[in-house]
């Protein structure tokens, strides 16, 4: 039997879980159970679904310490961030526990004559969710909770590296059989889920995301895909450099840069370059790669050996091409998959580090003569999820925000912040389909129907 084995990235010999991979047949069976359970789940009504999601929130909250420890162990998330993720997960369950009571349609006047026109939103059936490992509790929740709230059932295929977290989350949720099912596995299971679900939501790599979109669109089912981002931070000459450096260091090194909203390109405008380079290198040096279980750690390990080797190879390649290491650039001297937070200058424009998402604590520093050039650099990528702008001038920051191609723009704040009650998504190849989170999610997981009600014998 094939198993899904998840190891601790801070202690690679520590096997966190070994779960049987269900295979394509197992996914098809799970979809069948979910489809059979969906009618009864929908029939619970708003009060029943709301109560169930509220109980899930309470159960997750009661298991906070367990989930924090599991998140630190399975995906190497620093304990402070892990605690924040659990709190966010609870908040998301509670937020969507109110969604069943939201208006699900409108009443309209007919164009002529008497009668009544209604629009109503109804669930699709089975929501197939494919989720990454970097937010092993929050992302499955912000996909599953709205889908469940509006009456769908859910089949969740987590990344193999987050299998234990997903299984425990579903267990704690305590929903009726078939309403929330986790199917451990890899590419085979993910493909089977996309091929069988009634609505699909995916977060992961661009290459896989494109396949997911093609398959779902070919079947004619709704699909959304979040595929990462090559995120820029623009620092203007009038910025508070100490504050900007602290925000940027957090967005580069926090959780070893393993966030789709992490900053990987820092664009210094005009005279900002020199003081920012100095301040940022110093700020990154104060966030060394360290044990994620330690309360003071911001930068833990990257997820596995392959990720570390890819990052080190890219750094060596950039150095060979003339790049200068301003901070980090080396593997940390400890067991596990650790890379010191890294800042590189003089990286050639054509180098992969300047053009691709590497998902690690690495950023390149780029000069721009003025704001126009900075915006052109920030927009000159195929995918941007989040961008930050750092300036004391509100007018300048808001003007830049209007011109930036990014789904989320944060002013005088790290690019890596997310508000779960607002739409989440990127620009260009970073995202496909409807936005996630907030009320946008409820719309995505439902279809609109128009009902025309005319009086008997009427026109």
State the catalytic residues: 226, 260
H/E element, 355: none
The predicted pLDDT at position 229 comes to 84
Per-residue confidence in pLDDT tens, the chain, 459 aa: 799 999 999 999 999 999 999 999 999 999 999 999 999 999 999 999 999 999 999 999 999 999 999 999 999 999 999 999 999 999 999 999 999 999 888 999 888 888 899 999 999 999 999 999 999 999 999 999 999 999 999 999 999 999 999 999 999 999 999 999 999 999 999 999 999 999 999 999 999 999 999 999 999 999 999 997 899 999 999 999 999 999 999 999 999 999 999 999 999 999 999 999 999 999 999 999 999 999 999 999 999 999 999 999 999 999 999 999 999 999 998 999 999 999 999 999 999 999 999 999 999 999 999 999 999 999 999 888 899 999 999 999 999 999 999 989 999 999 988 888 888 888 888 899 989 888 999 999 999 999 998 887 655
Distant-in-sequence, close-in-space partners of 316: CB < 8 Å, separation ≥ 6: none
Residue 384 contacts residue 229 (beta carbons within 8 Å): yes
H/E element, 131: strand 126-131
The predicted pLDDT at position 455 comes to 82
Question: Phi then psi for 159, rounded to 5 degrees?
Answer: -60, 145
pLDDT tens digit sequence for 131-171: 999 999 999 999 999 999 999 999 999 999 999 999 999 99
Residue 153 contacts residue 127 (beta carbons within 8 Å): yes
- Considering only CA atoms, which of 400, 405, 416, 359 is closest in space to residue 380? 405
- Considering only CA atoms, which of 287, 247, 280, 286 is closest in space to residue 386? 247
Relative orientation angle of helices 79-97 and 45-62, to the nearest 10 degrees: 160
How far apart CA 266 and CA 37 sit, in angstroms, is 49
The predicted pLDDT at position 113 comes to 82
The predicted pLDDT at position 294 comes to 97
How far apart CA 218 and CA 207 sit, in angstroms, is 17
pTM of the model: 0.95
- Considering only CA atoms, which of 197, 180, 151, 179 is closest in space to residue 43? 151
How far apart CA 116 and CA 40 sit, in angstroms, is 29
3-class DSSP state of 112: coil
The predicted pLDDT at position 457 comes to 65
Q: What are 234's strand-pairing partners?
A: 267, 389
Cα end-to-end distance, the chain, whole Å: 65
How far apart CA 235 and CA 261 sit, in angstroms, is 17
The predicted pLDDT at position 200 comes to 98
CA trace torsion 329, 332, 337, 340 (10° rounding): -40
How far apart CA 51 and CA 63 sit, in angstroms, is 19
Question: Phi then psi for 391, rounded to 5 degrees?
Answer: -165, 150
How far apart CA 51 and CA 10 sit, in angstroms, is 38
């Amino acid at each position: 039997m094939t198993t899904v084995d998840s190891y601790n990235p801070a202690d690679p010999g520590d096997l966190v879980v070994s779960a049987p991979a269900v295979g394509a047949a197992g996914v098809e069976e799970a979809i069948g159970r979910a489809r059979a359970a969906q009618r009864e789940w929908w029939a619970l009504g708003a009060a029943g679904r709301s109560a169930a999601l509220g109980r899930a929130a309470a159960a997750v909250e009661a298991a906070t310490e367990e989930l924090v420890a599991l998140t630190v162990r399975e995906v190497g998330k620093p304990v402070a961030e892990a605690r924040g993720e659990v709190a966010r997960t609870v908040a998301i369950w509670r937020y969507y526990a109110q969604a069943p009571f939201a208006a699900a349609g409108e009443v309209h006047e007919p164009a002529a004559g008497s009668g009544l026109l209604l629009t109503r939103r109804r669930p699709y059936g089975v929501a197939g969710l494919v989720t990454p490992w970097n937010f092993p509790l929050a992302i499955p929740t912000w996909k599953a909770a709205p889908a469940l709230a509006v009456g769908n059932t859910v089949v969740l295929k987590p990344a193999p590296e987050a299998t234990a977290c997903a299984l425990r989350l579903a267990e704690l949720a305590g929903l009726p059989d078939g309403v929330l099912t986790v199917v451990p596995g890899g590419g085979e299971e993910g493909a089977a889920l996309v091929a069988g679900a009634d609505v699909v939501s995916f977060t992961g790599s661009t290459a896989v995301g494109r396949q997911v979109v093609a398959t779902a669109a070919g079947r004619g089912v709704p699909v959304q895909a979040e595929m990462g981002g090559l995120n820029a931070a623009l620092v203007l000459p009038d910025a508070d450099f100490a504050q900007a450096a602290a925000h940027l260091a957090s967005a580069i090194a926090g959780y070893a840069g393993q966030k789709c909203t992490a900053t990987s390109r820092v664009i210094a405008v005009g005279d900002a370059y020199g003081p920012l380079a100095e301040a940022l290198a110093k700020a990154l040096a104060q966030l060394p790669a360290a044990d994620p279980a330690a309360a003071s750690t911001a930068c833990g390990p990257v997820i596995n050996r392959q990720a570390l080797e890819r990052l080190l190879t890219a750094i060596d390649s950039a150095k060979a091409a003339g790049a200068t290491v301003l901070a980090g650039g080396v593997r940390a001297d400890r067991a596990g998959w650790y890379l010191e937070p890294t800042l590189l200058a003089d990286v050639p424009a054509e180098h992969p580090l300047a053009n691709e998402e590497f998902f690690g604590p690495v950023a390149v520093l780029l000069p721009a003569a003025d704001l126009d050039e900075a915006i052109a650099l920030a927009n000159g990528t195929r995918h941007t999820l989040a961008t930050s702008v750092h300036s004391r001038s509100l007018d300048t920051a808001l003007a830049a925000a209007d011109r930036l191609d990014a789904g989320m723009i944060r002013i005088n704040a790290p690019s890596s912040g997310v508000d779960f009650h607002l739409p989440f998504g990127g620009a260009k190849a970073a995202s496909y389909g409807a936005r996630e989170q907030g009320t946008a999610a409820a719309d995505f997981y439902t279809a609109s129907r128009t009902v025309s009600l005319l009086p008997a014998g009427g026109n």
